[in-house]
Amino acid sequence: MSLATLLVASLVVIVVLYQSIKIADESERFAVFLLGRFMDFRGPGLIFVTPGTQRIVRLKIGDIGSVKGPDFVTFGEVDIPIDGLSSFRVGQSVRIDRFDGARPVLAASSVAPKNTCPNCGHQF
């Protein structure tokens, strides 16, 4: 094995390790998606992901999202399944109040809804 091949191989290993190790603070969790499908919440601490197949979305206390259905909340551009949304209505703004283990606990947000539907008047 030549020195150039060894350097390239070690560089590839370093890049893969760099992309696979993530650290979540105490006030944040990661939503992990495998090939676009939600897997679970992870954190806090050291988290390993598989580059190329797993994607993470960082959720922090205070992040504001919007309820999109009976079990989905949109944070940014990503729909994340969250249990226990029966006390919220579709289109309502919610924020992450705290974490129960790795799962986020939501509270109603004081942020006003962005839009009103011209047909039925519901806010989203």
Q: How many domains in the chain?
A: 1
**Residue 34 resides in a domain:** yes
**Residue 85 resides in a domain:** yes
Instruction: State pLDDT tens for residues 80-98.
Output: 998 888 889 888 999 999 9
Dihedral of CA atoms 44, 82, 64, 33 in degrees, nearest 10, equals 60
**Residue 124 resides in a domain:** no
**Residue 83 resides in a domain:** yes
**Residue 118 resides in a domain:** no
Cis bond before residue 44 (omega within 30° of 0): yes
Reported pTM: 0.76
**Residue 116 resides in a domain:** no
> In the structure encoding, which two tokens stand for residue 75, read together?
């944070």
Provide the residue range defining the domain that includes 67.
3-108
Whole-angstrom distance, CA of residue 68 vs CA of residue 33:
18
> In the structure encoding, which two tokens stand for residue 44, read together?
């806090």
Of 15-29, 36-50, 84-98, the poorest mean pLDDT is in 84-98
pLDDT at 1: 73
| 109 bridge partner residues | none
Confidence grade of residue 121 (pLDDT, cut at 50, 70, 90): low
**Residue 20 resides in a domain:** yes
**Residue 122 resides in a domain:** no
